[in-house]
C-alpha cells in the first residue's frame, strides 16, 4: 500500500534554548512524509517556489518519497519563523510568509488518485474537501486541523470530519471544537459530530485515542531533552498513517499499534532540529523505541 | 502488614454540577484510609471535635479501620466548603474552618509505632517530620504536600522528602517544587532533591511515576461522568499504599501495580460524592477495573 500526504512544505527558521536554525526544510506534509517513509511508499502533494533548495528535494528523494505531486510555482516557498520559550511550552511566531502556499490548490496526480491511505495535513477545510473529491477508493483517511479553521470555517470542517476515518487534533483544539473542556467528553462529542476515530495529542502527556467504543491511551516518550518541538504532531501522523498503510489494515488492534508508532516518530522528531531526528533512523531504532513504549506502560 | 495514615479528618460541603452535599465525611486521611482498607488493615491518625458524627465513626469502623489514633478534642471538627466549576476543572473554596485541626499534633499510639507502611497526608512538613520521629522500623513511607508548604516551608519539606521513600504530588506542585515546567525534568529534579520514587498525579491525564531510573505511565480511567473530584489524590494514595502494604513488597514491578491500584481507587472515588464511591466496593469491582486499565494501555 502507499500513503498520500497533502499539506504545507516550508522553510522554517526556529530558535529554541538549544540553538537556532535558519530556513530548514519543514512544513506539515514534509514531517508527515518523512516519518511515514520509514513504513511505506509516500506520495507528497504540496507546493514550493522556485527558490526551494535542491538539497531539500534530494533529501526527500533519499527517503523514496514520490514528488510528482509537488508543484513548483513561480515565486517563493512558504517561510515560517518562530521562537520557543525557555521551557518549550510556548511558541511565538516571529514571521509567516505564505508566498506560493497562499494560493495552494492541491492537484492529485492521476496515478495517485487511487492511493488507499491519505493524510490531510492542516490546510483549509475547503481544500481538504477538494482533495477528497479527487480521490477514489480510499481505505483510510485522517485529517488534522487547527484553531484558526475551527473558528473561521467550522461548517466546512465538520463536512470534512464526516468524510474521513480519523481526526488527529491537539487537546486545546479538541476542547474548542467540542465546546467541552474535559478530555473524555470532548472526544465523545467529536465522535458524535461524525468521525468514529479521534486521536487527541496531549504533548508531554501522550495521546488519547478512541475508536468507536474503545479507548486507548499511549504515553509520551519521557525525553529529558527536547531540542525542537516543531513538527511533533505531523511526525506522529506520519508514524500513525505510515504504519496503517504498511500493514494494510485499520482494525482496532492495528490502530493501537499505529498510535504507538506515531508516538515513536514524534519522540524522534523532537530530539533534534527540524527533520534531522527523522531522516537517519533505522528500522532497529524504531523497533527498539516501540518496545520501550511497551515497557513504559507494562504492569 | 498494616498501613498508618496521618492527615485531616473533615466535614466537607461540596457543590458540583451534579448536586450539593453538606457536611459529608471527608479529609485526606479519610479518603486514603477508606481506599486502603480494601487492601490492608489501616490505622488512622487524626483529630476531630466533639461534634464528629457517630455515623461517620461507624462508617470508618465498618471498613475495619483502627481508630485508636483518632483523637477527639474539645471543639468542632475541621470543616471545608467548596464549589466546582461547570467543567470541574476549577475549584473555589467557599469556607475553611480548621477548628480542632488548627492545633493538630499527631500522636502515634504506642502499638502503631512499628507499622511498616505509612502515608503522610497533606499536613505541615514539621508535623510530617514529627510523625517520622515517632515511627520505628518503617519499610515504605510516602508523603503528599501542597503549594502552600512548598512556598512557606520549603526547607522542612525537603527534610521530609529526604526521609521518605516516595512523594505523591500533583503536576503544578511538581513544577513549583522543582522550578522546572517540563514534566520529565521536574520529576528528575525532585529525585535529585532526595527521593528516589516520585509520582506525579496528572488528573485526567493519569499519572507519571519514576522509581530510580525507571519510568512508568498510567492513564486515568476515561470517565464521562465525574460527580465529585474531591479526594481523588488521597484515594489514589490509599490504593497505592494499601496495595504495597497488602503484598509487603516495594520492588519496581510491585510499585507499578500499586500505581494502577491507586488509579483504580481514584476513579471510583470521583464517580460519586464524598467517600460514597469507595465504601461499598467489592474486591471484584476493583479487580475488574484493574483489568480495564490493562486493556486501556495494551497494544
What's the mean pLDDT in A107-122? 97
The verdict on residue A168 lying in a domain is no
Over residues B38-68, the pLDDT tens digits come to 999 999 999 999 999 999 999 999 999 999 9
The verdict on residue A90 lying in a domain is yes
Q: pTM of the entire structure?
A: 0.96
Q: Is there a contact between A182 and B88 if contact means CB atoms under 8 Å apart?
A: yes
Over residues A151-172, the pLDDT tens digits come to 999 999 999 999 999 999 999 9
The whole-number pLDDT of residue A261 equals 98
The whole-number pLDDT of residue B5 equals 98
Q: What is the 3-state secondary structure (H, E, C) of chain B?
A: CEEEEECCCEEEEEEECCEEEEEEEECHHHHHHHHHCCCCEEEEEEEEECCCCHHHHHHHHHCCCEEEEEEEECCCCEEEEEEECCCCCCEEEEEEECHHHHHCCCCCCHHHCCCCEEEECCCCHHHHHHHHHHCCCCCEEEEECCHHHHHHCHHHHHHHHHHCCEEEEEHHHHHHHHCCCCHHHHHHHHHHCCCCEEEEECHHHCEEEEECCEEEEECCCCCCCCCCCCCHHHHHHHHHHHHHHHHCCCCHHHHHHHHHHHHHHHHHHHCCCCCHHHHCCCHHHHHHHHHHHHHHHCC
Best of B86, B179, B185, B205 to disrupt the A interface by mutation (most A CBs within 10 Å)?
Answer: B205
Side-chain-side CA neighbours of A45 within 13 Å: the count stands at 28
Given CB atoms, is A215 within the 8 Å cutoff of chain B? yes
Residues of B in contact with A205 (CB under 8 A): 183, 202, 205-206
What's the mean pLDDT in B89-102? 95
In sign, the C-alpha dihedral spanning B268, B271, B275, B281 is negative
pLDDT at residue B88 is higher than 90? no
Beta strands B10-16; B2-6: pairing state: unpaired
Percent of chain B's residues with pLDDT above 90: 97
Q: Is there a contact between A182 and B222 if contact means CB atoms under 8 Å apart?
A: no
Q: Is there a contact between B294 and A294 if contact means CB atoms under 8 Å apart?
A: no
Question: B137: how many CB neighbours lie within 10 A of its CB?
Answer: 8
C-alpha distance from A75 to closest chain B C-alpha (Å):
40
C-alpha distance from B245 to closest chain A C-alpha (Å):
18
H-type helices in A37-112, by residue range? 54-62
Q: Structural domain tally of chain A?
A: 1
The whole-number pLDDT of residue B125 equals 98
The whole-number pLDDT of residue B201 equals 97
The whole-number pLDDT of residue B194 equals 96
The CATH number of whichever domain residue A71 belongs to comes to 3.40.1190.20
Q: Mark B147-180 as b/e (b = at least 16 C-beta within 10 Å).
A: eebbeebeebbbbbbebbbbbbbbbebbbbbbeb
Pick from B196, B213, B187: which is nearest to A296 by CA? B213
The verdict on residue A186 lying in a domain is no
Q: Is there a contact between A215 and B296 if contact means CB atoms under 8 Å apart?
A: yes
Over residues B103-128, the pLDDT tens digits come to 999 999 999 999 999 999 999 999 99
Q: Residue A286 is part of which domain span?
A: 2-145+218-297
The whole-number pLDDT of residue A89 equals 81
pLDDT at residue A86 is higher than 90? no
Mean confidence (pLDDT) of chain B: 97
What's the mean pLDDT in A255-265? 98
- Alpha-carbon distance of B257 to B250, in angstroms, equals 10
Reported confidence tier of residue B89, pLDDT bands at 50, 70, 90: confident
Question: B103: how many CB neighbours lie within 10 A of its CB?
Answer: 10
Q: Return residues 96-125 of A near B (CB < 8 Å).
A: none
Over residues A3-40, the pLDDT tens digits come to 999 999 999 999 999 999 999 999 999 999 999 999 99
C-alpha distance from B188 to closest chain A C-alpha (Å):
9
The rounded radius of gyration (Å) of the Cα atoms in chain B is 18
Reported confidence tier of residue B87, pLDDT bands at 50, 70, 90: confident
What's the mean pLDDT in B121-136? 97
What's the mean pLDDT in A172-189? 95
Residues of B in contact with A223 (CB under 8 A): 184
Q: Which positions ≥6 away from A199 have C-beta within 8 Å?
A: A142, A166, A167, A168, A169, A207, A208, A209, A240, A259, A262
What's the mean pLDDT in A175-202? 96
The whole-number pLDDT of residue B86 equals 86
The verdict on residue A9 lying in a domain is yes
Over residues A213-236, the pLDDT tens digits come to 999 999 999 998 999 999 999 999
Percent of chain A's residues with pLDDT above 90: 97
Reported confidence tier of residue A294, pLDDT bands at 50, 70, 90: very high
**Interface ipTM above 0.90:** yes
Q: Is there a contact between B216 and A88 if contact means CB atoms under 8 Å apart?
A: no
Best of A84, A222, A257 to disrupt the B interface by mutation (most B CBs within 10 Å)?
Answer: A222
Amino acid at each position: 500500500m502507499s500513503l498520500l500526504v497533502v499539506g504545507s512544505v516550508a522553510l522554517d527558521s526556529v530558535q529554541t534554548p538549544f540553538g537556532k536554525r535558519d530556513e530548514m526544510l519543514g512544513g506539515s506534509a514534509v514531517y508527515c512524509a518523512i516519518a511515514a517513509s520509514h513504513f511505506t511508499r509516500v506520495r507528497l502533494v504540496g507546493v514550493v517556489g522556485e527558490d526551494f533548495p535542491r538539497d531539500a528535494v534530494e533529501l526527500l528523494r533519499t527517503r523514496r518519497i514520490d514528488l510528482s505531486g509537488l508543484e513548483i510555482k513561480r515565486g517563493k516557498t512558504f517561510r515560517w519563523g518562530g521562537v520557543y520559550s525557555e521551557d518549550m511550552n510556548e511558541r511565538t511566531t516571529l514571521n509567516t510568509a505564505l508566498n506560493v502556499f497562499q494560493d495552494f490548490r492541491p492537484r492529485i496526480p492521476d496515478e495517485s488518485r487511487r492511493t488507499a491511505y491519505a493524510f490531510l495535513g492542516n490546510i483549509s477545510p475547503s481544500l481538504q474537501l477538494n482533495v477528497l473529491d479527487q480521490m477514489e477508493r480510499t481505505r483510510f483517511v485522517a485529517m488534522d486541523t487547527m484553531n484558526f479553521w475551527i473558528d473561521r470555517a467550522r461548517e466546512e470542517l465538520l463536512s470534512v470530519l464526516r468524510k474521513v476515518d480519523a481526526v488527529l487534533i491537539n487537546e486545546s483544539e479538541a476542547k474548542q471544537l467540542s465546546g467541552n473542556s474535559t478530555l473524555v467528553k470532548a472526544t465523545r462529542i467529536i465522535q458524535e459530530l461524525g468521525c468514529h476515530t479521534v486521536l487527541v495529542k496531549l504533548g508531554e502527556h501522550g495521546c488519547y485515542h478512541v475508536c468507536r467504543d474503545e479507548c486507548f491511551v499511549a504515553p509520551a516518550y519521557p525525553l529529558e531533552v527536547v531540542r525542537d518541538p516543531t513538527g511533533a504532531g505531523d511526525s506522529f501522523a506520519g508514524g500513525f498513517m505510515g504504519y496503517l498503510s504498511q500493514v494494510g489494515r485499520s482494525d482496532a488492534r492495528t490502530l493501537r499499534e499505529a498510535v504507538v508508532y506515531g508516538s515513536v516518530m514524534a519522540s524522534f522528531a523532537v530530539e533534534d532540529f527540524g527533520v534531522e531526528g527523522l531522516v537517519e533512523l533505522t528500522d532497529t531504532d524504531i523497533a527498539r523505541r516501540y518496545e520501550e513504549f511497551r515497557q513504559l506502560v507494562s504492569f
